[in-house]
Structure 1
Amino acid sequence: MAPALSVASPSTGAAVESGTSDVVVTGAKREVLPPAQLPGPATIKLHIADLIAKRPYIAALDAAGSTARLAVLADQERQYGSVPAFYLDTAEWFRLNGDPATASLLLLSALELPASDDETRQIVAFRLERDQSFDRSVELAEQLAAANAVFRPQPGRGLALALAARGRAAGRTGRADLERAFQLLVDTALNPASGDFDGIEVIALMEANALIPLIEAAGGHWTLEPGLVGLTDTDVRIVVEWTADDADIDLWVDEPNGERVMYSNKLSSGGGQISNDMTDGYGPEEYAIHHAPTGSYSVRINGYDADRINPNGLGHVLIRLQRNFAHESETQTLVDVDLSFQTGPNRNEEDETKPVATLRVGR
């Protein structure tokens, strides 16, 4: 990504510009100058039919009439309800079919099974954030960070994003959440353990910088080395992470001109860029484009290198589709995908990838 950057000199506090920018950044305050006209938010069309695995109990629900759904669910639960995947899948089915109350009960039921694990908790926490159940999402993220943050940086970042979502929703009263989220993201970026997941530090710093205006609007404070402060706004940003340490997940984005941005083509002719390819599990990986040409952006997920029995499903990918990132008009859609993996020698077989969403960018 190549956003215009303006940072404060450590010795003088004066702005040192790289490129052009409408924002002057210092170590303590952003002063917004008259901005260019911002584009309106993109319309995000999701390929919903492709996002739920077609397991027998989903087929049974699809075939049931609206009055028979709960009876069919109970029957299928007796057959398949010993693993979290059943509750995760059926929760999503009921949500997409207009029954959020049943969906919520099923989602939380996934946590109660003996087979539930940290992967289950990560999926449920992500969905609770999506559904704006922020307190429960933060509670689960706290548990994951307490158990795992000493070993790898992703749980700390996950907690930061859950706190940031709750802080944004709270406005000025979200100051403490926003400040803590910022510090967790900075810690993720500067943690030596992050070196084992090359690229996460850039993603975490981008997310930390995006919180600065929100912290200031809430009357809060932040501290960061001036050389790490910068303008991070992008028209389109897509971030994927996954729940397994033995999977390699690749993000593919087809831009309006047909060019595919992926691990083997990290920078497109239009300026779209993919972050470092994470091959050792968990992610995150990011696609970002600062000034997105109008048209459709097709998002696919490609799974590679996984061979295990998983009670949560073959593999799970958590996706954030963001428009006008780091602007006041930022919008975000959260999607999670149960994913199968490439079975042949060609890791780039398109027929075995998962289409996730299409972002249509207009001006």
Structure 2
Amino acid sequence: MSSDGIASINVLNEASGTVIYGNRGGDGVIVITTKKGLIKHAERIETLNKKINEVVQFKDWTPEANYLKQLSTTNSIEEAYELYLEIRKNYYNTPTFFIDVADFFEAKKEREIAIKILSNLAEIELDNHEVLRALAYKLESFEAYDVALNVYKEVMRLRPEEPQSTRDLALAYENVGNYQKAFDLLFTIINGDLVEKDLNGRFHGIEQLAFIEAGHIYQRYKDKLKLTSTQEGLIKPITTDLRVVADWNHNNTDLDLYIENPKGETISYKQKSTRYGDRLSEDMTEGYGPEEYLIKETLKGAYNIKLNYYSDTVQKISGPTVVKVTIFKNYGKENEIKHIIIYRLDKEEEEIEIGGISFI
């Protein structure tokens, strides 16, 4: 057929093709509409185009999703998973379906199934970087670092102009043991290579966090790094008793980290430091964070961690803002402990108690 006779071409990936054509569409589908077909079969083509549009366009997240109610009525893990397999074809265009269902199985102590479900979402060709960030956060919390790395690579492809993409990918490489790649990426933030990509200053202060994270890698894995003389002179080993970092997936979100130390003092954007050595990073009111709290030598007693969530500029198709809180005890030391907590924030001016960490 001559190209002159073609009116349009639609390429459906495996997931979308399966939804419309069943198993026949499992390898993807190319839909070619001819100009003659538009005349002879206008009604059928219009129906098909509507169906394609419904599949390709994401559906909005709903907090009380029917699929969660359905899963809750099952009598066993096996029955719940079978139901998931049955109904997922109806939700391929709802990315948060996979995250919600993964949470359902995680709550049932079925982490392996939860990771498998999140991996299903990772296989779908998404071009929404905010959904992908939320997915990567969940995978990290499940310690599925290899899969999370691939997701962060995709975020980097979609949003290379944002320094946060570079930082996320660097830390993902650190998680899988590629310390040189992690260090090199962080250094592109430290030395200003990405400044021209942040002309509006939305990520002002991220280079300070990258400096600390590069110093952490230098401290723990120096023997596995090859550094230039400039890097050797600039990067210093970092250790600190307590470090807390908050990242989130939605652009233009105002979220604040609060820490109450054992002396009853609250460290926040209103008071960023104390005489005891507590320190809070720049207040990020745009972009995706991060915000960081650290103290080199902790006091005896409990440090209580809170988040205050003020607003999203726009509610996204990816659902509520997802925040990742990473807590390090003995950061950079041989006895370092790392813990990741994931929250979904759907109420403005919501105060969330993350928890406390004690030092004796």
- Whichever residue aligns with residue 235 of structure 2, its letter is V
Tell me how far apart the structure 1 counterparts of residues 67 and 328 of structure 2 sit (CA, whole Å): 32
The answer for the alignment partner of 1:235 in structure 2 is 241
SS of the aligned residue for 1:337 comes to strand
1:58–1:203 Cα change, 3 Å = same
- Confirm or deny: 8 A CA contact 2:115 2:142 kept in the other structure: no
**Partners of 2:218 and 2:235 within 8 A in 1:** no
- Quick check: 1:325 aligned with 2:331? yes
> In the TM superposition, what whole-angstrom CA distance separates every residue of 1:91-116 from its partner, at most 9, and x where no partner exists?
02212321123212221233456776
CA contact (8 A) 1:110 1:116 kept: no
Identity among equivalent pairs (%): 26
| 1:290-338 superposed Cα distances (whole Å, 9 cap, x missing partner) | 1111222222222223143323221111221111111111111112211
| Root mean square deviation, CA, Å | 2.7
CA separation of 1:119/1:211 partners in 2, compared to 1, >3 Å: closer, same or farther?
same
Which amino acid in structure 1 is aligned with residue 355 of structure 2?
A
Which amino acid in structure 2 is aligned with residue 255 of structure 1?
N
Query: Gapped runs of 5+ residues in structure 2?
Result: 1-62
Q: Tell me by how many angstroms 1:139 deviates.
A: 1.8
TM-score after normalising by structure 1: 0.71
Read off the aligned partner of 1:317 and give its amino acid letter.
V
TM-score, reference length from structure 2: 0.72
State the Cα deviation string for residues 263-290 of structure 1 (Å, max 9, x = none).
1111134321110001112111101011
- Going from structure 1 to structure 2, the CA distance change for 1:73 and 1:256 (only over 3 Å counts) comes to farther
In the alignment, is residue 156 of structure 1 matched against residue 166 of structure 2?
yes
Contact 2:156 2:165 in 1 (8 A): yes
Aligned length: 291
| Alignment match of 1:264 (pick from 270, 279, 292) | 270
Closer, same or farther: CA 226–178 of 1 in aligned 2, 3 Å:
closer
Q: Distance in 1 between matches of 2:72 and 2:263?
A: 37
Q: Which residue of 1 aligns with 2:139?
A: 128
Counting only pairs closer than 5 Å after superposition, residues 97-246 of structure 1 correspond to structure 2 as: 97-111=108-122, 117-149=128-160, 151-167=161-177, 177-191=178-192, 192=195, 193=197, 195-218=201-224, 220-223=225-228, 224-225=230-231, 228-246=234-252
The alpha-carbon distance between structure 1 residues 55 and 339, as it changes in their structure 2 partners (threshold 3 A), is farther
**1:59 positional shift:** 5.7
Structure 1, unmatched stretches of 5+, are 1-52, 168-176
Q: Does 1:357 align with 2:358?
A: no
Q: Distance in 1 between matches of 2:254 and 2:97?
A: 24
Indicate how the Cα distance of structure 1 residues 59 and 250 shifts in structure 2: closer, same or farther if over 3 A, else same: farther
Structure 1 counterpart of 2:290:
284
Structure 1: distance between partners of 2:144 and 2:112: 13
| Larger helix share, 1 or 2 | 2
- Are 2:119 and 2:147, in contact at CA under 8 Å, matched by a contact in 1? no
The one-character-per-residue Cα deviations of 1:22-44 (angstroms, maximum 9, x if unpaired) are xxxxxxxxxxxxxxxxxxxxxxx
Distance 2:127 2:344 in 1: 16
Partner of 1:306: 312
Contact 1:233/1:290 (<8 A) preserved: yes
Task: Name the structure, 1 or 2, with higher relative contact order (CA <8 Å, separation 6+).
Answer: 1
The structural deviation recorded for 1:120 is: 1.9
- Name which of structure 1's ranges 151-160 and 208-217 shifts more when overlaid on structure 2: 208-217
Report deviation, 1:56: 5.7
Contact (CA 8 Å) 2:159, 2:165: kept in 1 or not? yes
Q: Distance in 1 between matches of 2:318 and 2:328?
A: 26
Whichever residue aligns with residue 281 of structure 1, its letter is G
AA matched with 2:320: L
